[in-house]
Amino acid sequence: QEHEKPPTITNGELRINGKGKKLRKPRTIYSSLQLQALNQRFQQTQYLALPERAELAAQLGLTQTQVKIWFQNKRSKYKKIMKQG
């Protein structure tokens, strides 16, 4: 009889049965209103200061991390497009 160990969190990683399988959080699905607001803000500025990020996250019902990562991804996509011409 093999007992399954409960999932443990080590260095911020969720591990199952002590093995190194990382469980990812499900991908964030942004509403069209959230995307509209994020894109509009990105057109104004590609970088947000901490207070701006906190305010935008609160307005849109997102976490600051979600806003931060959205901006990082958007900048990356923007640079890629600009590189291609």
Residue with tokens 């923007």: 78
- The domain locations on the chain are 32-84
The superfamily CATH assigns to domain 32-84 is: Homeodomain-like (1.10.10.60)
How many residues are listed for the chain in this entry? 85
What's the confidence (pLDDT) of residue 8? Answer: 64
CB 75 within 8 A of CB 68: no
Q: What is the pTM of this model?
A: 0.72
Residues 6+ apart with CB under 8 A from 28: 62, 66
Q: What was the pLDDT predicted at 80?
A: 95
Mean pLDDT, 10 residues at a time, the chain of 85 residues: 61 61 84 98 97 98 98 97 90
